[in-house]
Structure 1
Amino acid sequence: EDEGYFQQEIYRRVGGGLVENQSLSEAWSKIPEKLAFYDYISNNPAKGGLFRAGSMDNGDGIAVGWLGHPIFRDKEGRELFVRRMPTFFETFLVVLVDGDGI
């Protein structure tokens, strides 16, 4: 496990961009692709993601591009985050939680 290192670094950088009056979209656009890929649950080398079997993109199991960061909100407007899961669960349903872990 990476213990959330990549996710923490991304949120640190995005938060810094917001402090500098960048929009959320601008702040996320400055995140290097490699950092975003390492944080992505299926590509995290700490979870064996770069060596996964089966197709994801181009049939070789390696993603080749990053389209951006989706932001999920519940009906009350709270931002929801993808729950970090071990590799064993990577093919299960996506679990979204709010800032309070609900």
Structure 2
Amino acid sequence: PFAKPVEDNPDLTERFQLIVDGMEIVNGFSELNDPIDQRQRMEEQERKYRSGNQEASRLDEDFLEALEYGMPPAAGWGIGIDRLVALVTKSHNIKEVIAFPTLKPKS
């Protein structure tokens, strides 16, 4: 919900991914800095979360307030070190290289 839409085509976002051997290594995008649009997206994500989608983003009022004050345009990218290690070691599953796997609560 944080990627900025392409100005002349809102169905697309300003983002890229570097895929190597079928695995996402890098993810980058321009940050959405429109507070109204971002609030609508975050509220939709919050509804999804409350409906049981634990992967959905939560509503972040502090972030939205920062946008309202006029957060400047921003962009960035992130590299998945765990994914890079999996690629270099030719691991079949990313779980083989994660030092501290995320634990999910018991259902």
TM range (shorter): under 0.3
Question: Which structure is richer in relative contact order (CA contacts within 8 A, separation 6 or more)?
Answer: 2
**Structure richer in strand, relative to its length:** 2
TM-score normalised by L of structure 2 = 0.24
TM-score normalised by L of structure 1 = 0.25
